[in-house]
Amino acid sequence: MTTESPRWFTSSYSENGGACVEVAANLAAAYGTVPVRDSKDLYGPTLAFDTTAWTAFVAGVKAGDFTA
């Protein structure tokens, strides 16, 4: 069993306007999930996405599937 702590990061594409999320992708291999949290509330709730779902989401973002 691993006791690795999450290493949170914010995308380099974030504009530092305070409305960002942080991701701890370093836990994906060990736990099969990708934790995500609000960058303004570091001690608030964390969502955990299945690695397959997270990979599909990131691919969709890169493909422009979620344009406003």
Domain map of the chain by residue range? 1-60
Give, for all 68 residues of the chain, the pLDDT tens digit: 556 899 999 877 777 666 788 999 999 999 999 999 998 898 999 999 999 999 999 999 899 998 87
Do the bridges between strand 46-50 and strand 21-23 make them parallel or antiparallel, or are there none, so unpaired? unpaired
> What are the tokens at 40?
């303004």
- Calpha distance 4→62 (Å, rounded): 29
Inter-CA distances, 51 with 16, 30, 38, 68, Å: 26, 11, 19, 25
pTM attached to this predicted model: 0.79
Q: Are 58 and 68 in contact (CB under 8 A)?
A: no
